Every structure is written in structure tokens, then in C-alpha cells.
Amino acid sequence: MPQLGESVTEGTIGRWLKQVGDQVEKYEPIVEVATDKVNAEVPSPFSGVLTEIIAAEGETLSVGQPICEIAEQGGDSAEAPAAAKVPDAPTPKAPAAGAMDTADAPQPVPAAYEPLGAAQNAGRVRTSPYVRRLANDAGIDLQLVPASGAEGRVTREDLARFQQQAPASAAAAAPAQPAAAAPQIPQPAPPVQPPAMAGDRFMDLTPMRRTIAEHMVRSKREAPHATAWFEVDMSSVVALRKRIRAEFEEREGVPLTYLPFVTKAAVEALREFPQINASWGGDKIIVHGPVHVGLAVAIPDGLIVPILRNADGLSIAGIARGANDLITRARAGRLTLTDIEGGTFTVNNPGSYGSVFSAPVINQPQAAILSMEAIVKRPVVVQGDAIAVRSMMFLSFSFDHRVLDGAMANQYLASVKRRLEAMGPETAVY
């Protein structure tokens, strides 16, 4: 299981794109792997023949575990033994399987793959010798014990907690397939569970849910959040969008929402205030050169923030197309790892659900996050002390007070506001 990202510790095997006996070229995708962040295709590090699939579809493995074997062919023979357990041409592991009878088969086909049983998996639980002994004495399968220790280790405390909850857990665990208990991601010790009330049910944490929880807690704990709100008159943007929408959607083939307008203004303002496009680096502040804007996308089981790269080089139409592509693929679970890495700033759109005011949590280690709220018609006092009905929108802006202060944050917001209010019939969309 390759390392699929900085904080990724494990992956779940999706679909095998190659089967045992298939010829694979170097860099050719051989399997799909789902991590807590994205689905990725794993390229083959060698050219050769896939001789054994070790990890079945749906199995979750920590980084570094073997997932398959490839017998190298043709290449430098000196490298071959290092790359594969079977040094030369693959030989069938079970001659009784009868595969050899098909004389014309170019590659021998090993016996049908057997999923690893629980007994074999037991050896993979990370724990200490002492905990293993305690579990053995108590007759507990460590596979079923949720781990909280370093690198996914089952600790003494985990075992004690499991034993206390044994009656409930045993009942719940018995019918479940072993795979359900397999993922053991490092996590802070869970809080004491409140007693279940009638009608309560437990939802297992998906890897994504767990990652979101960890990231949110980390952000709130590490970054002193300060939030500012600016009110923007979006009337001209509303009028502009209304006027060009049908033509735009016909021409570009993607819907025209307000997101590209706000993102455009936000990115231009970032060029004006580059210190906002920054990260906290512990003993320094990293002011980012490129502007890679993360767009928070709600998906059925959580939230993901794909990155619109070099957004400062895009027109409103370019942002609309890029955002649409990312959002569509995010909802379809087709993002790749590069789609979600390297963001320098985040734009969030809770307004699409009707929110008019929020206090967003910063996407670490970025310095700031901008939420665009719902555009609502409101009576407001305009020039000449008249009262008019205008399309108003709040911008909610949370920033890491270690990186910047209110003065700059508010100047930045004022710039975004000015740019949005200045949009009109002459604004270049394409």
C-alpha cells in the first residue's frame, strides 16, 4: 500500500484493474484505492506479470503492507529478486488447480484467490506483547478492539475499555464481518460513551468522518480563530448573472452560480493582500506564491475540499468550469489525490443552503477561509438616505490570528466587497 498523501495512513482496496496473470507495464494503473480523502489509481512500479493479489477488494491496509506480487520480466535480472518473491517466471502455486491443462494459456493461472481468514489477519493487529498476553488470557480477539495508540496500536486502556463494554460489543461484533473491525486509525482516546437511550443507534465512523473530526479539532485547538463579517450589495452581480445566465450555460455547458463571481473577487483581493494567501509554519509564516483555492463541497457522507489550481489566472467562466468539474467529480467520488492537495485558501458556500451568517472553521494550515452566505433581498439605506430593496449578502471570514490581524483581514474583506459591488454589465466574464 503506497503512501497516498501526507496524512494518509491506510487505504481500502477498491477495484482491481488487473487480474492475476495479466501483463502490466510500469506506471500502468493496477488497482483503485480509496483513502479517507480520495480514490486513487495505483500505478505499477514494475513491468511484469501480476502473480498474486494479496489484498482483496474492500480490505483496508496500512501504508507499507503488501497488496500484490508482480514477477518482473525482461528487465534487469539483478533487480528481479528484490521486486518479487517469485524470482523467475511465475509458477502455479497449486498445480492441482488444473490451470496447466490449458496449454495455450500464455501465463499460468494460479489457484483461485482465497481471502485471508480472521486467523491470518490476527497477526496484523499492532499491539504490545503485554496486551497480546492479556487478550490471549481473556480470550479476546484483538481484531475487534478499537485502537487508540500510536500508529494504530491497541493499548492496555483500549483492551480494558473493550472488556468493560464486552456484553454489548460482543453482541454487536458477532454478526459483523471481520472487515468491519479492521480499520485501526490513530485517534485520540474516545470520550466516555453516554448510556444509550431507547431508540439510539450507533453510526460507525467512516474514515472520512474520522478525518474531518480530527482536522476540525486540530484547527480549533491550534489556530486562534477570529471571524469578521462584511455585508455586500450583490444587486449588480444578481442582475449581471440574470442577464447572461442562459447564454453562458449554453456556451459553456455548465451552470452559472454566484460562486465564480465571489471566488473571482476573493482571488483578485488575494493578489492585493498576498499575506492572506498564507500558512502558519510553526516558526515562520509561509506566504504562498500560487493561489490554489479550495472549494468546500458537501458530499453525501461528509465534506471534501478540492483545489482550484492557479485560480488567479482564471476568468469567471474559467472558475465556473473548473469548479463545476471539481464539484461533479467530488460528488461522484472521482477526485484524485492531486485534486485535494496544496490548497492555499478556501472558499465555502453555505449560502447555497440558505445560511445568512456563519463562523467557518479554518482549513489547516491555511490562514483563512471565506464563506459566502445566501443572497437575500433586504430594505437597506442607500445613497441619499433613501430606503431601497437590495440583494444583500454577508461574507463570513475566519482567519488565523497568529498569521494576520484584524486590520489586514478587514482591508481584505473591504477589497472583496468593493470588487463585487463594482461588477456590472461591463464585467468580463469570459
Partner 1 sequence: MAVKNLIDGVREAMHEEMARDPRVVLLGEDVGIRGGVFRASEGLVGEFGEARVIDAPLGESGIAGVAIGMALNGLRPIAEMQFADFIHPAFNQIVSEAAKIRYRSNNDFHVPMVIRAPFGGGVHGALYHSQSVEAFFMHVPGLKIVVPSTPADAKGLLKSAIRDEDPVMYFEHKRTYRLVRGEIPDGDFTVPIGKARTVREGKDLSIFAYGLMAVFAEQAALELEKEGVSAEVIDLRTLLPLDREAILSSIGKTHRGLVVYEANRTMGAGAEVAALIAEEALFELDAPVRRLAGPDLPAMPFNTVQEEHFMPNPEKIVHAARELLAS
Q: Is 405 a catalytic residue?
A: yes
Give residues with Cβ within 8 angstroms of 167, minimum separation 6. none
Q: Specify the residue, 17 or 122, whose C-beta has the smaller distance to partner 1.
A: 122
Q: Single out the catalytic residue among 22, 141, 312, 401.
A: 401
Q: Considering the complex, what minimum distance in angstroms separates the CB of residue 188 from partner 1?
A: 12
Q: Considering the complex, what minimum distance in angstroms separates the CB of residue 282 from partner 1?
A: 18
SS3 of the chain: CCCCCCCCCEEEEEEECCCCCCEECCCCEEEEEECCCCEEEEECCCCEEEEEECCCCCCEEECCCCCEEEEECCCCCCCHHHHCCCCCCCCCCCHHHCHHHCCCCCCCCCCCCCCCCHHHHHCCCCECHHHHHHHHHHCCCHHHCCCCCHHHCECHHHHHHHHHCHHHHHHHHCCCCHHHHCCCCCCCCCCCCCCCCCCCCCCCCCHHHHHHHHHHHHHHHHCCEEEEEEEEECHHHHHHHHHHHHHHHHHHCCCCCCHHHHHHHHHHHHHHCHHHCEEECCCCEEECCCCCEEECEEECCEEECCEECCHHHCCHHHHHHHHHHHHHHHHCCCCCHHHHCCCCEEEECHHHHCCCCCCCCCCCCECEEEEEEEEEEEEEEEHHHEEEEEEEEEEEEEEECCCCCHHHHHHHHHHHHHHHHCCCCCCCCC
CA 256 to chain centre: 26
Q: Specify the residue, 221 or 284, whose C-beta has the smaller distance to partner 1.
A: 221
Q: Considering the complex, what minimum distance in angstroms separates the CB of residue 136 from partner 1?
A: 9
The residue written with cell numbers 498564507 in the block is: 278
Q: Considering the complex, what minimum distance in angstroms separates the CB of residue 220 from partner 1?
A: 22
Q: Considering the complex, what minimum distance in angstroms separates the CB of residue 133 from partner 1?
A: 4
Q: Which residues bind partner 1 (CB under 8 A)?
A: 128-133, 150, 155-156
Helices (H) and strands (E) in the chain, counts: 12, 17
Q: Specify the residue, 152 or 351, whose C-beta has the smaller distance to partner 1.
A: 152
Q: Single out the catalytic residue among 88, 204, 301, 405.
A: 405
Q: Is 288 a catalytic residue?
A: no
Q: Considering the complex, what minimum distance in angstroms separates the CB of residue 150 from partner 1?
A: 5
Q: Considering the complex, what minimum distance in angstroms separates the CB of residue 190 from partner 1?
A: 17
Q: Considering the complex, what minimum distance in angstroms separates the CB of residue 129 from partner 1?
A: 5
The residue written with cell numbers 453482541 in the block is: 171
Q: Specify the residue, 12 or 148, whose C-beta has the smaller distance to partner 1.
A: 148
Q: Specify the residue, 125 or 223, whose C-beta has the smaller distance to partner 1.
A: 125
* Sheet containing strand 68-72, strands side by side: 23-24, 48-53, 68-72
Q: Specify the residue, 23 or 128, whose C-beta has the smaller distance to partner 1.
A: 128
Instruction: Please give the positions annotated as active site.
Output: 401, 405
